[in-house]
Amino acid sequence: MLKKSWYSLMAVLMVAVIVLSACTTPVATTEAPPAVAKEVEVFSWWTGGGEAAGLDAMIKVFNAKYPDITFNNAAVAGGAGTNARAVLATRLQAGDPPDSWQGHAGQELIGTYVAGGQIEPLNTLYEEQGWLAVMPQTLIPLISDQGNIYSVPVNIHRANVLWYNPKVLTDNNVAVPTTMDEWFAAMETLKAAGVTPLALGEQWTKMHLMETVLLGSLGVDKYNGLWDGTTDWASAEVTKALEDFKMVLTYTNDDSTSLSWQDAAQLVVNGNAAFNVMGDWAEGYFRELGKAPNTDYGWAPVPGSVGVFQFLSDSFVLAKGAPDADGAKAWLTIAGSKEGQEAFNPVKGSICARTDCDKNLFGVYLQSAMADWASNTVVGSLTHGVVANDSWKSEIDTALGAFIADQKVDVFQSALVAACVASGPCK
Ligand code: GAL
């Protein structure tokens, strides 16, 4: 009897142990964090025409190095980021930043994102990766504020390029112009022969054309002075430069408003126009179209800017409050690496920001750009974020839109003076 109740007690105890351990086991397993898929959202405007191909080449390097992180390509179409940057601004305002986005070295970065407290410093990453030794010393101040470095430049682009169709020029006995006056004479000849002298696209490409004409007409010192307040926007030289711009516009196609930069550039390589002023991403596009350098297209500095390299640099940032900061750092590591830049730039039509890329990976145009970057006088681009912050640039853009409609140089110049007072260094 006693023995039987002892056995029952033991049975009850064993059941209790089993039940208890069954209860405790799940507690032990739930302590391990649930597996979270790693992802990085990277925002840009590289969706086509040579640009997507460059990005894809860099994503390939990323995927090989970080197979466990999903690359979420959040590119929004539209040259120069006209659409993308509006989407980005809305997302930043809503507190929904992508982990990393494409920005431009210079005032766009410092005067917009840093000033707005929207991005994180990357000093630690620079130290870990040894980037200070391989990035151009001239670029570091343009991506820094108060001792902090804020972005990873992937490239150097040139803005002041005059692309031309060699056959169209030879057929019309026109030499490649080097001065404004030569350019006007050449375009007059072409116009008289029934050829579209200068292919042009939508509004941002007009600002791009304008900044190169300002440079060509004013020269380096006066051009630089526009952005630091030492050139008077109301001066006669600026009036002359704007008159030059107005004149240049008279040689362009009528349907510019409906053309993307790719459409306009394509008119040149297809032989439907003689010239196009566009940054050297156009070269990435020409190559994607299967066109050959020096046969289907030639290049020269925009007239008046021989010996000057008007530059911009695409550079990626780390969002403050990035949903996946580790993923973003992995992406930035690739964007700043030799392998990433060597994969990206020969396709994109830019040269490496890094100084140690293998030159032999680049075609004849980009090799000439490397030589010019090393030897020319370097100035910054307006349209692509170097010399003015977003607020100033947007006021210039509004004034430009009105000028394109009314063609009034005096009204345009007054608006530019006011824009410099409102958002720039002018008092
Ligand atoms: C620029 C950018 C270039 C290229 C171009 C045309 O602002 O820096 O990389 O994308 O726009 O879309």
- One pLDDT digit (tens) per residue for the chain, 427 residues: 444 444 454 444 444 444 444 444 444 445 566 666 799 999 999 998 889 999 999 999 999 999 999 999 999 999 999 999 999 999 999 999 999 999 999 999 999 999 999 999 999 999 999 999 999 999 999 999 999 999 999 999 999 999 999 999 999 999 999 999 999 999 999 999 999 999 999 999 999 999 999 999 999 999 999 999 999 999 999 999 999 999 999 999 999 999 999 999 999 999 999 999 999 999 999 999 999 999 999 999 999 999 999 999 999 999 999 999 999 999 999 999 999 999 999 999 999 999 999 999 999 999 999 999 999 999 999 999 999 999 999 999 999 999 999 999 999 999 999 999 999 999 8
CATH of the domain at 249: 3.40.190.10
Same domain, 230 and 288: yes
Find the largest Cα–Cα distance for the chain: 123
CA angle 240, 261, 174 (to 5 degrees): 60
Closest CA to ligand 1's atom 11 = 80
Q: Is 84 in the pocket of ligand 1 (CB under 6 A)?
A: no
Q: Is 81 in the pocket of ligand 1 (CB under 6 A)?
A: yes
> Could you give the 3-state DSSP secondary structure of residue 295?
coil
Q: Is 157 in the pocket of ligand 1 (CB under 6 A)?
A: yes
Q: Is residue 372 part of a domain?
A: no
Q: Is residue 96 part of a domain?
A: yes
Q: Is 311 in the pocket of ligand 1 (CB under 6 A)?
A: no
Q: Pull the structure tokens for residue 348.
A: 């994109």
Same domain, 265 and 175: yes
For residue 158, CA distances in Å to 212, 308, 401, 423 come to: 11, 10, 24, 26
Q: Is residue 80 part of a domain?
A: yes
Q: Is residue 397 part of a domain?
A: yes
Same domain, 122 and 243: no
Structural domain for 269, as ranges: 161-311+383-423
> In the chain, helix, strand, coil percent, each to 5?
55, 15, 30
Same domain, 286 and 409: yes
Domain count, the chain: 2
Instruction: Report CA(106)–ligand 1 centroid distance (Å).
Output: 14
- Partnered with residue 158 across adjacent β-strands are 311
Q: Which residue is it, tokens 């040149």?
A: 268
Same domain, 413 and 269: yes
Q: How much is the CA Rg of the chain, to the nearest whole Å?
A: 28
Instruction: Report CA(343)–ligand 1 centroid distance (Å).
Output: 17
Same domain, 107 and 61: yes
Same domain, 277 and 320: no
Q: How many residues are recorded in the chain?
A: 427
H helix count then E strand count, the chain: 17, 15
Q: Which residue is it, tokens 């140089």?
A: 409
Q: How far apart are CA 391 and CA 421, in angstroms?
A: 12
Q: How far apart are CA 398 and CA 149, in angstroms?
A: 32
Same domain, 202 and 168: yes
Q: How far apart are CA 401 and CA 407, in angstroms?
A: 10
Q: Is residue 27 part of a domain?
A: no
Enumerate long-range contacts of 403-407, CB under 8 Å, 24 or more apart: 404/203, 404/206, 404/249, 407/246
Closest CA to ligand 1's atom 9 = 314
Same domain, 357 and 398: no
Q: Is residue 413 part of a domain?
A: yes
Q: How far apart are CA 416 and CA 410, in angstroms?
A: 10
Q: In the sheet that 196-199 helps form, which strands lie side by side, from edge to edge?
A: 196-199, 273-277, 161-164, 298-301
Residue 261 CA, chain-centre distance (Å), reads 14
Same domain, 74 and 130: yes
Same domain, 295 and 268: yes
Q: Which residue is it, tokens 């990766």?
A: 129
Same domain, 331 and 413: no
Q: Is residue 29 part of a domain?
A: no
Q: Pull the structure tokens for residue 202.
A: 């939508």
Say what the pTM is. Answer: 0.92
Q: Is residue 263 part of a domain?
A: yes
Instruction: Report CA(163)–ligand 1 centroid distance (Å).
Output: 16
Q: Which residues contact 93 (CB under 8 A, 6 or more apart)?
A: none
Closest CA to ligand 1's atom 5 = 80
Instruction: Report CA(419)–ligand 1 centroid distance (Å).
Output: 24
Mutate to test the pocket of ligand 1, among 43, 44, 45, 366 (most ligand atoms within 8 A of CB): 45
